[in-house]
Amino acid sequence: MSEQAEQAVETPELDRYECRSCGYVYEPEKGDDKQDIPSGTLFAELPADWRCPVCTAKKVAFANIGPAGTASGFKENLGYGLGVNQLTPTQKNILIFGALALGFLFFISLYGLQ
């Protein structure tokens, strides 16, 4: 948590803005190719007549959603966490088959003891 706070203090000008109409996110690092906005342009520096490239909403329709580092990094961490628990169908079959085989062996061993 402390790292994110420090990052926000270091780069407050790189806040991203999300279009509340369509969900488009303006990222200062990328700019806006379609409207000749060079990368590194802050949202506040965009021309007053700049419109959302997706739905042409005005700048006032955008909401500050914070710098890119925090949200995207959090999503990546989530992906790593889920990736460990996500099994492919093949892996699931191996697990199921393995459990059945173990159960069968256990069943046979019980007979062996009697």
Helix ranges restricted to H, 23-113: 68-85, 89-113
How far apart are alpha carbons 96 and 92 in whole angstroms?
6
Q: How far is the CB of 51 from Zn ion (least distance, A)?
A: 8
Is residue 96 involved in binding Zn ion (CB under 5 A)? no
Site track for Zn ion across 25-64, x = CB under 5 A = ---------------------------x-xx-x-------
Least Å distance, CB 5 to Zn ion, is: 30
CA distance 15 to 29: 10
Per DSSP, what are the bridge partners of residue 18? Answer: 25, 63
Sign of CA dihedral 100, 102, 103, 108: positive
Examine residue 24 and tell whether it contacts Zn ion (CB under 5 A). yes
Q: How far is the CB of 52 from Zn ion (least distance, A)?
A: 3
Where on the chain is the footprint of Zn ion (CB under 5 A)? 19, 21-22, 24, 52, 54-55, 57
